[in-house]
Amino acid sequence: MAVVPFLVLFPFCVSFVMFLTRNSKARAALAYVCSAVIVGAALTLLVQWIMGGCTTITCYADTELVDHVILGAELLLMVFVTVLCFKYRKYWISLLSIIPTMLIAYFELYGPEVEECDHIYIDHLSILMVLIIAVIGTLIIIYAVGYMHGYHKHHADLEDRRYYFFSLLFLFLGAMFGFVLSEDLLWIDFFWELTSIISFLLIGYTKEEQAIHNSFRALWMNLFGGTALAIGIVYFGYNAGTVSLHALVEAGVAGKVVATIPVALIAFAALTKAAQMPFSTWLIGAMVAPTPSSALLHSATMVKAGIYVLLRLSPAMAETTTGTMIAFIGGFTFLITSFMAIAQSDAKKVLAFSTISNLGLMVACAGVGTPETIWAAVFLMLFHAISKSLLFQDVGATENCLHSRDVEDMHGLLFILPRLAIFMFIGIAGMFLAPFGMLISKWSALKASVDERNIMLVFFICFGSATTSFYWTKWMGKIISASHLKEKTFRDVTKPNETFSLTIHAVLMVLLCMLFPMLSEVYVNPLITSMFGEAQNVLPQGVLYTLVAVIVVVFAVPVLSYAYSKRMRKTFVLSYMNGINTGDNRKFTDSFGDEKTLWLSNFYFHKVIGQRKLMIPSQIFALAFLVIMLSMILGGVSL
């Protein structure tokens, strides 16, 4: 399995070379070639794994040298973070890096001898994560080559540090591969911290005041989670004599007391990574970063690391206090952030809130921890990764053309920038019109939470899905409305590499909608089996195929009706304005005889359910809930 270290180390090397490459042509060529190599390596891993019979593979038992290298790298990271914290006078944040690192270092050097375990673990879930990271990640990098070019053209005042940007993106890919393939909790901890710090650096990319402020908020929240993770790992290491992730899960499933606190702490850490309440604000602040990093880190992959950990832990969390805590926080976040998404008109903010909201649904599914909900969570993750990445990239490209990313300015986008509008439409449809956003997730989550008698979760899902439909539908309506602007035209400045990435995303999205029953049968069900020993579709296979048929009808009907209505003879009339329509549906003459331009806007209710109104109360509520639940868990163990 030499491809595993290659997957981790190759991006690291590329990252280093990128840092030294200051010529943008050479950098672009390098990015394309290396992206292809990474996808190739991921596919090789897939093929090797399939040839091995799709069983779980563990390897690399004796890795003393690597352990020391990782420890050294962790100490270096600590020094790096501390220096930056002192430079920007955020002294206390450095403690959140020093404490866990010292804890881990002490444990490794002076702690008890831990049982040797395999350090790499390859199964259905890690392969799925590797494929998401490789395919989506590299597509985003290809997109970023074109996007960053335009970005620096529009923001001429900013220092062009693209070498640094691409270097970080590749470093991040390597860290993510390491994270999802590791079995040793100490390795997981290292890659975890690494992704947190890369995210922090990317948010601060522009070095503007707002960016620096937001990046430090992201840093402390993620490091705080990392501290919980480190404490959990060291506690488990001392008491169980092993630091293997699966040993932890098995101990949890067997109901051993030793696993209770580590599972709770690691799950808590996952909440910070997945930006759940009360830690949601860092992800909103992260939107100041250039769009490719928002797409890659803050939507498609890094935040999924939190979900990945929760999915791994879910058998151990089922029917425990920890599971209840996680499910509640997830459901609560799903509902409350979908409210806040309604009040946003900045497209990137809408995407950020909806990301948190969707992550909330996945977290809730993992917290309930039955085979059905995990099935739903895996599919949600897959659909979300593709459609969100598509939407972020599309909003970025639209912003480069319109010089605005306000949803209100996208009025009539279909007529202004037709290609981008269609991609956006596919992305939104994939988020909530296609089977997974709106139907199956609701279906399975509802069914499972009813079966588990979790009434709170039922309420969260029922009300949350209503608010979710609201903000997506009003956005879609904006895109297709007749344009206000006839005089002003915009040029589509989307570059071929951006279009390439967008097109592949859109195609993947459509394929996923068509093929998901097959995917469920050949891939997701075995995944569930390997986790729980039994697999269960939420719905029988037959129903899934019926569903695909229905989806096809739902999408075919508009096409057919369009073809039909095109042949119809019709007369065009002007719209009713309660004043004299001046002739093109854009202006009217009012009662004083003046010409008034018509301007339509969506509802936002930002004074009632805006971020300012809701964020702090719900953070306080979620924090209080977490404190109470965690003390219950800790108290339950000590008693």
Q: Which residues bind another protein (CB under 8 A)?
A: 411-412, 433, 438-439, 442-443, 446-447, 450, 453, 455, 458-459, 461-463, 465-467, 469-470, 473-474, 476-478, 480-484, 543, 546-547, 550, 553-554, 557-558, 561-562, 564-566, 568-578, 585-586, 598, 600, 602-603
Find where tokens 């630091």 sit.
Answer: 243
What region, left, alpha or beta, does residue 583 occupy, with left being phi > 0 and alpha being psi -120 to 50 degrees?
A: left
Q: What are phi and psi of 397, to 5 degrees?
A: -65, -40
The nearer residue to another protein, 469 or 530, going by C-beta atoms, is 469
Task: Select 12 or 604, whichever has its Cβ closest to another protein.
Answer: 604
In the complex with another protein, which residue's Cβ is closer, 51 or 568? 568
Q: Which is nearer to another protein, 91 or 459 (CB)?
A: 459
Q: How far is the CB of 522 from another protein (least distance, A)?
A: 24
Q: What are phi and psi of 561, to 5 degrees?
A: -65, -35
- Orientation angle between helical segments 418-428 and 455-480, nearest 10 degrees: 170
Q: Kindly state the DSSP code that residue 600 receives in the 8-state scheme.
A: -
What Cα–Cα distance (Å) separates residue 542 from each residue in 339, 538, 555, 593?
Answer: 35, 12, 20, 64
Angle, CA 498 vertex, CA 496 and CA 502 arms, to 5°: 115
CA 485/CA 507 separation, integer angstroms: 31
To the nearest 10°, report the CA torsion of 164, 168, 171, 172: -170
Question: Among residues 25 and 570, whose Cβ is nearest to another protein?
Answer: 570
Nearest distance from residue 224's CB to another protein, in Å? 34
Nearer to another protein, 187 or 471 (CB): 471
Q: How far is the CB of 477 from another protein (least distance, A)?
A: 4
Q: If you count them, how many residues does the chain have? A: 639
What CA–CA distance (Å, rounded) separates 527 from 67? 29
Task: Work out how close the CB of 384 gets to another protein at its nearest, in angstroms, rounded to a whole number.
Answer: 19
Helix (H) or strand (E) holding 497: helix 496-519
Taking phi over 0 as left and psi of -120 to 50 as alpha, with beta for the rest, 21 belongs to: beta
CA 68 to CA 541: how far, in whole Å? 49
Output 24 or 582, the one with its CB closest to another protein: 582
Tokens of 483: 């344009």
Query: What is the C-alpha end-to-end distance of the chain, expressed in Å?
Result: 46
* Closest approach of another protein to the CB of residue 600, in Å: 5
Q: Which is nearer to another protein, 34 or 342 (CB)?
A: 342
Give the shortest CB-468-to-another protein separation in angstroms: 9
> How far is the C-alpha of 385 from the C-alpha of 156, rounded, in Å?
32
Q: Give the shortest CB-542-to-another protein separation in angstroms.
A: 11
CA neighbor of 161 nearest in space, from 170, 151, 146: 151
Q: Which is nearer to another protein, 72 or 477 (CB)?
A: 477
Quick one: 12 or 555, whose CB is closer to another protein?
555
Helix (H, G, I), strand (E, B) or coil at 589: strand
What SS3 state is found at 175?
A: helix
Least distance in Å: CB of 572 to another protein? 6
CB of 562 to another protein, least distance (A): 4
C-beta separation of 341 from 279 below 8 A: no
Residue linked to tokens 């390597």 = 174
> Would you say 95 or 577 has its CB closer to another protein?
577
CB nearer to another protein: pick between 257 and 553: 553
Buried b (16+ CB within 10 A) or exposed e, 395-418: bbbbbbbbeebebebbbbbbebbe
- Helix ranges (H only) for 2-90 are 3-20, 24-51, 64-87
Q: How far apart are CA 241 and CA 234, in angstroms?
A: 10
**Least distance (Å) between residue 326 CB and another protein:** 21
- Shortest distance, CB of residue 474 to another protein, whole angstroms? 6
59 vs 480 by CB, closer to another protein: 480
CB of 455 to another protein, least distance (A): 6
In whole angstroms, how close is the CB of 478 to another protein at the nearest point? 8
Instruction: Judge whether 266 and 306 are in contact, CB under 8 Å.
Output: no
Which of these, 360, 556, 339, 328, lies nearest to 449 by C-alpha position?
Answer: 328
For 459, the token pair is 């309420």
